[in-house]
Structure 1
């Protein structure tokens, strides 16, 4: 029996549709061939008691960079959900921050990724590793 052909799915716009990314003003500069870059300008309402970028915002940036890398690795034909994520915080985040994501392995159902977050001087603020499951959009 012949199964109906699926219409190709385009998940390239999913990032912009996430309300939390809009609230943070988190921007994806690019995502292609398993590599991504996100940027955010820290502002007072995103900081902790020490006036540094809140750890949850840092983790959101790293997660977004890795998931964007995973999406681009699939050619934006699948969606992803985070299965696990490990984060190391190395120094306070301030100013303009850039998250770099990279898909480093996996197969048809999961993607292994890594990310690093740098401040405007290029110093490493945090890094992460994560596993992402491909799902239907």
Structure 2
């Protein structure tokens, strides 16, 4: 059975949570993706830094977007596994860079990092994503 080809390049915009956070996709092509977020008070924790859950979301979205672009936007992905390390508090404008680094027909291995306005590393992650039909 041959399934119809579907363009998954618009999936990011269809996730309400991305809009709620105010996250923007600046770039997504050839296994690379870049997301941007302007931190607001309602996205911070007790220490006036961007909440760790928000940073993990940025990492997850950057990696999943990189995986989508690696498939030429012909497939969707779901997160199987994600490991995150927090380096320093994130404040202000945050940028997440995701890269598809390997995998095969059914899974994609990715890495991502979040940097602050000064370009300092805030957090990094590795993740495994399963390709699924949209």
Return the TM-score normalized by structure 2. Answer: 0.98
1:43-86 residue CA offsets vs partner (Å, 9 max, x unmatched): 10000011000000000000000000000000000000000000
Structure 1 partner of 2:35: 38
Structure-2 residue corresponding to 1:48: 45
Q: Point out the structure with max Rg over C-alpha.
A: 1
Q: Give the alignment of 1:1-137 within 5 angstroms.
A: 3=1, 5-137=2-134
How far residue 7 of structure 1 moved from its aligned partner, in angstroms, is: 2.3
| Structure-1 separation of matches of 2:87 and 2:38 | 19
| Long gaps (5+) in structure 2 | none
C-alpha distance in 1, partners of 2:113/2:87? 11
Work out the CA distance in 1 between the residues paired with 2:119 and 2:13.
Answer: 26
C-alpha distance in 1, partners of 2:91/2:3?
45
Give secondary structure in 2 for the equivalent of 1:9.
Answer: coil
Runs of 4+ in 1 over 4 A off after TM superposition: none
Using the TM superposition, give the Cα deviation of residue 6 of structure 1 relative to its aligned residue in structure 2, in angstroms. 3.1
SS of the aligned residue for 1:21 comes to: helix
Q: Distance in 1 between matches of 2:3 and 2:87?
A: 45
Structure 1, unmatched stretches of 5+, are none
Deviation at 1:30, TM superposition (A): 1.1
TM-score by length of 1: 0.96
What do the CA deviations read for 1:21-55 (whole angstroms, capped 9, x no partner)? 00001011111000000000001000001100000
